[in-house]
Structure 1
Amino acid sequence: MTKEYQLYMNGEWTSSSETVDVYDKYSKDVHATISKAGEEEVERAITSAYEAFHNTDFPPYERYKVLHRVSELLQEKKEELAQIITAEAGKPIKQARTEIDRATQTFELSAEEAKRITGEGVPVEAAPGSENRLAFTIRVPVGVVGAISPFNFPVNLVAHKIAPAIAAGNSVVLKPASRTPVSSLKLAELFHEAGLPKGFLNVVVGSGSVVGNQMMQDERVNLYTFTGSAEVGLKLKQNTGLNKLVLELGNNSPVIIDKYADVKKAAETTAQKAFAYAGQVCISVQRMYVHEEVMNEFKEHFIEATKSLVVGNPYDDKTDVGPMISEEEAKRAEEWISEAKEAGATIVHGGTRNGAQFEPTILTDVDQSMKVVCEEIFAPVVTMMTFNDLDRVIDEVNQSNYGLQGGIFTKDLNRAYKAARKVEVGGFMINDASQYRVDLMPYGGVKNSGWGKEGPKYSIEEMTEERLVVMNLE
């Protein structure tokens, strides 16, 4: 039976004149019907957030209690929410359960950080003529946060936006991805149950051309936090004036397999982290640079590890790789592979598509000009290239326009540290794949991969303003 969901604004559930269907990504059946926001609903949501921020007292300990309670409710309703993620995102159920566990941590961390927002003393008395002055800084919330989230982590990436924003004392207008909005509306239910004051969270579902653009143009929104494509991120940056931005954008993660690596471990780790959730993770392994002395051994182990992955029904506990978010996206990946093959690339494993299901695919004989290398494929596809000089391969890695996370496998500490210093990314992993992330760490990229940091502590810094207070004691 199809479930119906309304929009959440000012602490109330509200229907609209239009609806949008959300499909089960595996069965293709209608999973839910959602009220769709138009200009009137977006205006109401922003007004609600603005008035709540300016007219409601919401001190740090109260924020802590609400966020902590949401983290508890997430665990109480873990299986229900995991099933929703699997339905609307197509994510294998075991990975969906892990996402709920991570989101629980994100809310718990944010709750704790709500009690730790501090400034610092400023020694102005050291300046001539200021001997009788005392100065310090405080951190104050920015106001209304406009949050735009993607489909691939419909609970945890939403948590990374709304939990730190609320911990900092801001109100939020959230536009979840239209393909995966149910998770966000369920989170709104949890916030409602946890006692969040009216107006501090508003969830509006709709198209980017309507909801996103209206949010972007409204001067009452003080900060935008967005995860998605570099193209949309650039548009936000160009059209939001001097407003603050936190942008988590595209990537094509590089991992270097050095001749001093534990080759088998490197192959098994990168295979798991290249194809999890069908490669639809911003930090999925996409570009592998393998030292020529270990290439044959690495490729053999990598293919073996890839073949061991279970592909198919995401509701099966054994499944590692489920369908992509849509057949259109799977067809796009197929086209990119065909282009690469025509230009000389070799498919050593995979390459077949069945609807939205795409077999884990490994390409060799590729070069930097191919889309499968230089752009973000966001699919279960990896490329392998050889190298024999570490400095030269680092230069090759850095030719990318992206720089979110990368990694190296090596037992040589000097080579590991050289790569960590020189590879142009926001996060660099040694003896692990690029897809390592825990929710308390600073997470963000350089170049076209973004602007600002996520991770509750770091997001709160982004979502607050530092204010100087000077006392004249004369």
Structure 2
Amino acid sequence: MLKDAYPYYLANEPIYANKDLAVTDKYSGEIATHVALADRKAIDQGIAGTVKAAAAMAAMAPYERQAVLDHCVMRFRERSEELAMALCIEAGKPIRDARGEVGRLVDTFRVAAEEAVRIDGEVLNLEISARAKGYRGFTKRVPIGPCSFISPFNFPLNLAAHKVAPAIAAGCPFVLKPASRTPIGALIIGEVLAETNLPKGAFSILPCHRDGADLFTEDERLKLLSFTGSPQVGWDLKARAGKKPVVLELGGNAACVVDEDADLEDAVERIVFGAFYQSGQSCIGVQRIYGHRAIYDKLKQKLVAKTRTLKMGDPRDEETFIGPVISEGEAQRLENWIQEGVERGGTLLCGGGRNGAMLEPTLLENVPAGCSIVDDEAFGPVAVLEAFDDFDRVLETVNASTFGLQAGIFTRDLYKAHRAWDLLEVGGVVIGDVPSWRVDNMPYGGVKDSGLGREGIRWAIRDMTEERLLVIRTPQ
């Protein structure tokens, strides 16, 4: 169960400033706990703390940073069921999915611990002409400095971890703004970090309202902004971020292509998982499904039958697969999008019903382009089906989206797999599985409206460090 109240963390210290942020149980709608809400003064103090801590963080030896991360791994494992239940309550995430996210939290910090001692440089051969004779070059990577992180509600643990863990590995102090609807996971991470010997000011975790959050973006003392969330907010933040580098992990409208040679039983199992796990609230959740006409009817029949077996209900129930979406307002939005798709010629194959924040897993067929459920990011348990005849044409259809995060291709044809990799305008192509698949040491991110830059520990460390050159001349 959750505590009665949680502090925010300011310069490594828990501060019980107030109980102004009520966090609800997303299934019952009742208030589950209260969290201290940071004001503008606290945010300013948190940023000032990172500036003071920057030199000490940079001076930490790699093995010392690794020890901090190893401690986190140990404590997260010890507190795994507490973390999973917190996710279950604050995010409405089914308990099995919640445990899976805790596992990914552990993986992310474990990989970061390994990478902390691998931040290497390079020896450069500068003698490219006679004038450079006797010169040698070397590079190393140094911490970029204080970082600003803004994380979303849908993966409160893992998406915060993908910012926090590489920052510690790189030697960067940070301020983190967790989503106000799901702040508990990030605050538990803060509780564990407070047990370590990180320099004072190395981290602040500050839930706050948007009207006080502009400092996370605009303050020039911060040297990098990493944001995960909606495209509308993300691009606005980038425009206001000033000179600092910005990493954006934004929305998606992920497509899955099932070719005529695919193993249908396997494809259906994976697609249903990819479309509906944690109620579809994933930017790489399967939203558009394209099946080759030769197998389309069988694919549709099997998808509908499998979708109808998914159990909805209390996310604490071990058998629940579909829990609530984050709010009743989001469920209403999706219900309206479904109705629009049907009114404009689409066919409702299953689902579509809503009770509060609970929305039935829904499949639609032949919804025309221009409908929100086809063109925009659903971020809920809804997917659309359509048949295709030509593989190259369907790749063009996938590319017609303004988003480009990941795509999944079920084919056994090596040449088609490579063609998809060559032609699809996405950050990642997954062959033989859904676009929803991600492991935490791979480069992850999108193109077009889906964002800028890549997460994944090694790639995040690159963003959080700068290359510094040393040239040595040997007199001739």
- Structure-1-length-normalised TM-score: 0.98
Once the 2 structures are TM-superposed, how far is the Cα of residue 150 of structure 1 from its aligned partner? 0.3
What secondary structure sits across from 2:223 in the alignment?
Answer: strand
Aligned equivalents of 2:30 and 2:265: distance in 1? 41
> Is the CA contact (8 Å cut-off) linking 2:407 and 2:429 kept in structure 1?
yes
Does 2:375 correspond to 1:374? yes
What secondary structure sits across from 2:435 in the alignment?
Answer: coil
Residue 316 of structure 2 is matched in structure 1 by 315
Residue 115 of structure 1 is matched in structure 2 by 117
What secondary structure sits across from 2:86 in the alignment?
Answer: helix
Aligned mate of 1:81, from 80, 83, 88:
83
How many residues are treated as equivalent by the alignment? 473
> Is the CA contact (8 Å cut-off) linking 1:164 and 1:460 kept in structure 2?
yes
Aligned equivalents of 1:406 and 1:35: distance in 2? 40
Aligned equivalents of 2:62 and 2:266: distance in 1? 45
Residue 301 of structure 1 is matched in structure 2 by 302
Aligned equivalents of 1:133 and 1:268: distance in 2? 60
Residue 177 of structure 1 is matched in structure 2 by 179
Q: In structure 2, give the amino acid aligned to 1:135.
A: G
Note the alpha carbon deviations across 1:278-320, whole angstroms, 9 max, x for none. 0001110000111111111001111121122211110011111
Residue 126 of structure 1 is matched in structure 2 by 128
Aligned equivalents of 2:118 and 2:225: distance in 1? 23
Does 2:448 correspond to 1:447? yes
What secondary structure sits across from 1:386 in the alignment?
Answer: strand
Residue 219 of structure 2 is matched in structure 1 by 218
Q: In structure 1, give the amino acid aligned to 2:49.
A: S
Q: How does 1:201-240 map to 2 (within 5 A)?
A: 201-211=203-213, 213-240=214-241
Residue 361 of structure 2 is matched in structure 1 by 360
Residue 262 of structure 2 is matched in structure 1 by 261
What secondary structure sits across from 2:194 in the alignment?
Answer: helix
What secondary structure sits across from 2:212 in the alignment?
Answer: helix
Aligned equivalents of 2:263 and 2:464: distance in 1? 41
Does 2:200 correspond to 1:198? yes
Residue 11 of structure 2 is matched in structure 1 by 10
Aligned equivalents of 1:131 and 1:417: distance in 2? 44
> Is the CA contact (8 Å cut-off) linking 1:249 and 1:449 kept in structure 2?
yes
Q: In structure 2, give the amino acid aligned to 1:181.
A: P
Q: How does 1:302-451 map to 2 (within 5 A)?
A: 302-451=303-452
Q: Which runs of 5+ in 1 are unaligned?
A: none
Q: In structure 1, give the amino acid aligned to 2:123.
A: G
Q: In structure 2, give the amino acid aligned to 1:170.
A: C
> Is the CA contact (8 Å cut-off) linking 1:246 and 1:450 kept in structure 2?
yes
> Is the CA contact (8 Å cut-off) linking 1:278 and 1:380 kept in structure 2?
yes
Q: In structure 2, give the amino acid aligned to 1:383.
A: V
Provide the identity percentage.
Answer: 43
- Structure-2-length-normalised TM-score: 0.97
What secondary structure sits across from 2:130 in the alignment?
Answer: coil
In structure 2, the CA distance between the partners of 1:295 and 1:72, relative to structure 1 (3 Å rule), is same
Once the 2 structures are TM-superposed, how far is the Cα of residue 371 of structure 1 from its aligned partner? 0.7
Note the alpha carbon deviations across 1:104-144, whole angstroms, 9 max, x for none. 01001001111000111111123322212211111011101
Aligned equivalents of 2:237 and 2:321: distance in 1? 35
What secondary structure sits across from 1:95 in the alignment?
Answer: helix
> Is the CA contact (8 Å cut-off) linking 1:2 and 1:30 kept in structure 2?
no
Once the 2 structures are TM-superposed, how far is the Cα of residue 227 of structure 1 from its aligned partner? 0.5
Note the alpha carbon deviations across 1:344-388, whole angstroms, 9 max, x for none. 111100000111011100000212211101100100000001110
What secondary structure sits across from 2:226 in the alignment?
Answer: strand
Aligned equivalents of 1:151 and 1:450: distance in 2? 18
Of 149-158 and 193-202, more deviation after overlay is shown by 193-202
Aligned equivalents of 2:218 and 2:411: distance in 1? 48
Does 2:453 correspond to 1:463? no
Note the alpha carbon deviations across 1:417-436, whole angstroms, 9 max, x for none. 21121111101111101111
Once the 2 structures are TM-superposed, how far is the Cα of residue 208 of structure 1 from its aligned partner? 2.3
Once the 2 structures are TM-superposed, how far is the Cα of residue 17 of structure 1 from its aligned partner? 5.2
Once the 2 structures are TM-superposed, how far is the Cα of residue 16 of structure 1 from its aligned partner? 3.0
Aligned equivalents of 1:373 and 1:87: distance in 2? 31
Residue 95 of structure 1 is matched in structure 2 by 97
Q: In structure 1, give the amino acid aligned to 2:41.
A: E
> Is the CA contact (8 Å cut-off) linking 1:268 and 1:301 kept in structure 2?
no
Aligned equivalents of 1:139 and 1:128: distance in 2? 29
Q: In structure 2, give the amino acid aligned to 1:162.
A: V
> Is the CA contact (8 Å cut-off) linking 2:347 and 2:364 kept in structure 1?
yes
Residue 169 of structure 2 is matched in structure 1 by 167
Aligned equivalents of 2:216 and 2:391: distance in 1? 46
Once the 2 structures are TM-superposed, how far is the Cα of residue 209 of structure 1 from its aligned partner? 2.9
How large is the RMSD of aligned CA atoms in angstroms?
A: 1.2
